[in-house]
Structures are given as C-alpha cells and as structure tokens.
Amino acid sequence: MTTRILICDDSALARKQMAKALPPGLADDILFAGDGKEALTILRDQKAELLFLDLNMPELDGYQVLEHIRSEDLPVLTIVVSGDIQPEARERVRKLGAIDFIKKPTDTGVVSRLLEEYGFYRPSELEDTALNDASLHSREAAAPEISVSLSDYLQEISNVAMGRSSDLLARLLKVFVKQPIPKVAFIANSELHMAISAAQRAENYSAVCQGFTGAGIAGEALLLFEDASFREMAELLHYDVLEGESVNVEVLMDMSSILFGAFIKGIGDQLDLKLGLGHPTVLGQHRPVNELLDHHSKREEQLLCIEISYALENRDIRCNMLILLTEDSIPFLEKRLAYLVD
C-alpha cells in the first residue's frame, strides 16, 4: 500500500527530517512545498492524500492553509508538524480539521505509530512488498536531495527551542504566544543595532543579558523588553505592586529566566550538548536599542545573530530575544549540521 504524501515546511532541514522519519516504502512519490501557497497549488491538483504541515511559515502559515483546505473542501488528511507546542496551538489546529499533531523534531517511532493508527502504514504489508519489489529501493534512492545551509539549520533548531520557551510562557501566564519566524544573520558586532528589527521602532527598551557556554559553543542571550509592556506583564505575573523601577527590573529578570532557560535548554537538547548559563546582567533601562547595545559596538568580531520577536495575543506586550553566537562556535555547528543531514 502506498500513499501520495506532501511535506510542507519553509525549512529545508525540517522537510529532510520529516522525509527521513517516514517508514521505508510508504510513499510512491513524496512532494515538497516550501510555503503554504505552494502547498495549496499541489493540493488543488489532487496530487496528495496526506499532508504533513508546519505552522510557522511565510506567505501563508499553517493555520491559513488549514482554513483553505476546509473552505475549499480539498481531499487531503493533514497532520501538523510544529515546534509550537502550546496547548492552544494544538486545540486550534484540531478545530481547523487536522487529524493529529506531531511536535518537532520529528521522531520516527511517533510518525510510524500515527500512520499505522490512521491506516496509512501496515508494517507487515510493506515488508512483504519490499521483499518482492526491488524498485522500492531504487525509488528511495532516487528521492530528491535537499540541501541545508547553516542558516536554515540554525533557524529550524531556533524554531523548536522557541516553541518550548513559548509553551512555558503560555502555561505560566495562561496566554497564547504568537510564533514569529526566527531571523538568522551573520553580522559584525558593531552593526548589531542596525540589523535587528526592534531598532527600527521608536520605542524605548530595557534590556538584560546572560552568557552561555558549552563544549565548542559560546554566546550571549539578550532580552529587549518594550517599556510600554511592563505594567501589563506585572499584572500577568501577579505582582502586588505594578509600577516602579524595582518592579521593572523584577519583570526583566523573571522574563529572562523563563525565556532564556527554556530556549537555551531547547538548543542544547537538539545539539546533544549541555549549555551552562551565567548570571543575568541588566544592560540598561528606558533607552533606545542602539544605546543598550553600545557595549557591542566596540568589538569587531563577527556574530551569528538569531532574533525572535515575542508577542502575546490580545495583549500589548512585546519583547525581542537575541541569541549571539561567537565566530568560534561556527565549526562546531557546521559539524553538527553535517552529521544531521548525512
């Protein structure tokens, strides 16, 4: 028994991992889409029976794709595969018609169990077919090669780590955290303030930073918190006092503890590496972003910068998290990438 399968994800690494997680011989022809628009074009031509769908994508995100599938009555069953593991995200996709949810990174055992449960995969049948049909092996060997860049690799592992930090925040505060697409850039330290999106806005920010290290990797995490968000966040955190400089610092420290801890652990788990966090330091309060990042402008080294803009749905609360990896971390990351895509 074979099934026509479409894998839709803007990450080349995620598409490759999902394809590798499928049981051997399951699909006659695996199709790939890099965004929601491309996926809908394929589905409208009825070229796929089963869709593995990411949520966090440009153009059309996964929620919008599910809405189109339902409104256009497209004949496909959808399993969402996402790093956004908030309970509300799972509930929303089920209401939109997804038959199930798989959290990233994909696990072969979980994928096989789900496919068997929904009748797409019968192990004994496929084993018999594989023994009698040598062309299955040639079809697998002829599967399209997906190239993965270091930037794409970092974006995808950041996406998964972001999902963990957002899930923790959502559960603690009983909110829904909007999931952005992580931005990855290789920039000079002195140009950092020009590269991040927060610097394009006029608002003042307060910032806290925290270093982290592991075998072969080192960097710094920064949290830029919009001044206008402090009071509402203090309410969500159930503080007795909602205003004042000491309250603002406490909000900064609590938010950095929640977001940094979960995110850095998520990165470390995917790299199979224990990352240690240093002590948090307040960089400054109520200042433009370029002033808060002034301590970086005097250093000439190159950085790998990962930027994530967090926002809470129906709340006027926004903050930016920057993960700054040193040049010396690149060889280790490239080695991990080579191992993953082998």
- Between 298 and 149, where is the model more confident? 149
pLDDT in tens, 203-244: 788 999 999 999 999 999 999 998 889 999 999 999 998 888
Q: How far is CA 209 from the centre of its chain?
A: 21
Report the pLDDT value the prediction gives residue 125, as an integer from 0 to 100.
63
Which residues, other chains included, contact 134 with Cβ-Cβ below 8 Å and sequence gap of 6+?
none
Confidence of residue 44 (pLDDT cuts 50, 70, 90): very high
Report the pLDDT value the prediction gives residue 194, as an integer from 0 to 100.
63
- Between 336 and 55, where is the model more confident? 55
Q: What is the Cα–Cα distance from 131 to 25, expressed in whole angstroms? A: 11
131-142: burial string, b at 16+ Cβ within 10 Å, e else? eeeeebeebeee
Residue 27 burial by CB count (10 A; 0-12/13-18/19+): exposed, middle or buried?
Answer: buried
Which architecture characterizes domain 150-341 according to CATH?
3-Layer(aba) Sandwich (3.40)
Q: What is the Cα–Cα distance from 149 to 210, expressed in whole angstroms? A: 27
Which range among 131-135, 290-294, 301-305 shows the weakest confidence by mean pLDDT? Answer: 131-135
**Assigned token pair, 89:** 């995200």
Annotated domain spans of the chain: 3-141, 150-341
Report the pLDDT value the prediction gives residue 219, as an integer from 0 to 100.
93
Q: Are 305 and 221 in contact (CB under 8 A)?
A: no
Q: Are 234 and 341 in contact (CB under 8 A)?
A: no
Report the pLDDT value the prediction gives residue 95, as an integer from 0 to 100.
97
| pLDDT greater than 80 at residue 26 | no
Secondary structure of 37-96 in the HEC alphabet? HHHHHHHHCCCCCEEEECCCCCCCCHHHHHHHHHHCCCCCEEEEEECCCCHHHHHHHHHC
pLDDT in tens, 253-285: 999 999 999 999 999 999 999 999 999 999 999
DSSP reduced 3-state for 9: coil
- Between 200 and 315, where is the model more confident? 315
pLDDT in tens, 65-106: 999 999 999 999 999 999 999 999 999 999 999 999 999 999
Q: What is the Cα–Cα distance from 242 to 185, expressed in whole angstroms? A: 37
pTM: 0.87
| pLDDT greater than 70 at residue 195 | no
Locate the DSSP E strands across 182-272.
Answer: 183-188, 205-214, 217-226
Q: Are 54 and 82 in contact (CB under 8 A)?
A: yes
Q: Closest by alpha carbon to 206, among 281, 268, 275?
A: 281
Top-level class of domain 3-141: alpha beta
Average pLDDT, the chain: 87
Q: Closest by alpha carbon to 173, among 133, 113, 106, 232?
A: 232
Report the pLDDT value the prediction gives residue 56, as an integer from 0 to 100.
93
Q: Closest by alpha carbon to 237, among 301, 173, 319, 309?
A: 173
Per CATH, 3-141 and 150-341 having the same topology is answered no
Report the pLDDT value the prediction gives residue 232, as an integer from 0 to 100.
93
